[in-house]
Amino acid sequence: MRLVFMLGLLLFSNLSLANEWLQNWMRQEPAASLPRNSQHVLLMPLDGGPGEQRHRADQLLTPASLEKLLTTWMALELLGPSFQWTTRVMGEGQRQGNRWQGDLYLTFNGDLDLSEEAIWKMLRDLRAQGIKTLDGDWVLDGRFFNWPAPEALHFPDLGNNPHAPYLMQPSPYLINYGLHRVQLARDPQLGMTSWITPPTLDLTINWTQANTSTAACNRLPRPSWSTSRVSRTALSLQVQNTLPVGCEVSIYGHWQSPADYSMALVAYLWAELGGELTGQVRLAQEQDPVPVRQLTAHTSDTLAETIRHINKWSNNVVTRQLYLNLGARIWRDLAEDDLSAARLGSLEWLAERLGNVEGLYIDNGSGLSRQSRISPEQLGQALLQMRDSRYFPELKASMPLMAQEGTVHNRWRNTSVAGQGRLKTGRLNGINGVAGFVDDHTGRAWLAVLLISGQPSADGWRWMEKLLLDLHQNPPRVKP
């Protein structure tokens, strides 16, 4: 009995002393001067030994892009790392000479990363087969999804640019993430020039004169710009002219709906390849037939490769597209639309693995939401489950390496913790966070979940950078 009591006392003493490390750091470190109720921490040694640190880790918070870890984990487990998407060109009708009499269908299948180049290659295959004239319509078929109402996908952005790339919504017709690239250059002879790719909008630039930047071309700040006018066929931008001679910069934005963007792109590429069209480019309707004759196809990269775009660079639209894929492919029977199905199915799936999911809610899979909720404790439990997964190598490889990749390539540079961990970042107005795995200087591996709520982004990042650097350099010491 005395032995049990002494062991219990020793364990309590070790836990108290270990957690004291974090409390001391918060009291002594100037970077930790943020309000205590804004700080949320879970640090857990992965060897199962003592030393766990926590502060307000049971509080439900908006996770921002840390939510992407859950979406990609579920996708790996449910679809498998080798899963691929196939986009097809299907024919309804028949071939006569160099003419296709009937409609051609571009059949979308939920591809997360479908590019203009992939579409161009499929259309080139048709031309190589000898098809020149389409006596019918190009039909974009997105009927694979049970699509939710538009308001269910809307995010009320607090910024001043509704055309920003990160606000692009998912779509059954997604190509190129729905983005245009506007390129601006200052030529020694021609002066200011501009062009847009893909060239499916008529572009007008209204220049505002300003002081010319003295920065080198490769260090120019982003140009200040705003959208003056946009229609289905034309775009007008107001741009501040600060370019030095010989320099070029780019602006990215989404100025069309995904459906309009993709219809215009298919029409442009078909014409560029010398194809002729007697009908129109349109969207498939419910009453349209489902063609069975495949003429050409494109197969995507594997899921394991694609999730690197998600977690390293925190791509919102790709993650939202993936979440809808889970609703469509795994949980379709749970609801009338694929977003509702994903919300219900993901909660059931996580409950089976995490146990405590009280208050947990995954809104759209990307974290671009004010409704999503999770506690650092719940996310930490999920990270432990991920680490035990047979697909953990794929998931870990998708997370940015500290100071070297993705959204942390400029963090912790020239410090001893550079390259010593993999962390997913998350940020919304009023929320900053990191979650992942970090080694201390002894080689001991730690699970880390940090969230700062209600504070400026710069202050939150200083706090998180300093805490993880100190964890690496001076980790908690627990009596043996």
Q: Write out pLDDT tens, residues 337-393.
A: 999 999 999 999 999 999 999 999 999 999 999 999 999 999 999 999 999 999 999
Residues 327 and 440 in one domain: yes
Distance CA 290, CA 278 (A): 21
Asked whether residue 267 is assigned to any structural domain, the reply reads yes
Residues 64 and 34 in one domain: yes
- The model's pLDDT over 235-293, given as tens digits with 9 standing for 90+, comes to 999 998 888 889 999 999 999 999 999 999 999 999 999 999 999 999 999 999 999 99
Note if the pTM is more than 0.85: yes
Q: Write down the pLDDT at residue 15.
A: 46
Domain's final residue, options 241, 275, 300: 300
Asked whether residue 480 is assigned to any structural domain, the reply reads no
Asked whether residue 162 is assigned to any structural domain, the reply reads no
Asked whether residue 173 is assigned to any structural domain, the reply reads no
Q: Write down the pLDDT at residue 9.
A: 39
Residues 452 and 393 in one domain: yes
Residues spanned by the domain of 129: 86-149+258-300
Domain's final residue, options 241, 276, 300: 300
Residues 362 and 379 in one domain: yes
Asked whether residue 15 is assigned to any structural domain, the reply reads yes
Residues 320 and 461 in one domain: yes
Q: Write down the pLDDT at residue 159.
A: 73
Residues 192 and 218 in one domain: yes
Residues 418 and 310 in one domain: yes
Residues 316 and 391 in one domain: yes
Within 10 angstroms of residue 296's Cβ, the number of other Cβ atoms is: 17
Residues 331 and 417 in one domain: yes
Asked whether residue 57 is assigned to any structural domain, the reply reads yes
Residues 427 and 334 in one domain: yes
Counting as low any pLDDT under 50, the low residues of the chain are 1-16
Asked whether residue 283 is assigned to any structural domain, the reply reads yes
Q: Write down the pLDDT at residue 219.
A: 85
CATH number at 55 reads 3.40.710.10
CATH number at 112 reads 3.50.80.20
Residues 208 and 319 in one domain: no
Residues 184 and 247 in one domain: yes
Cα 1 off chain centre by: 55
**Domains in the chain, number:** 3
Asked whether residue 166 is assigned to any structural domain, the reply reads no
Domain's final residue, options 218, 238, 253: 253
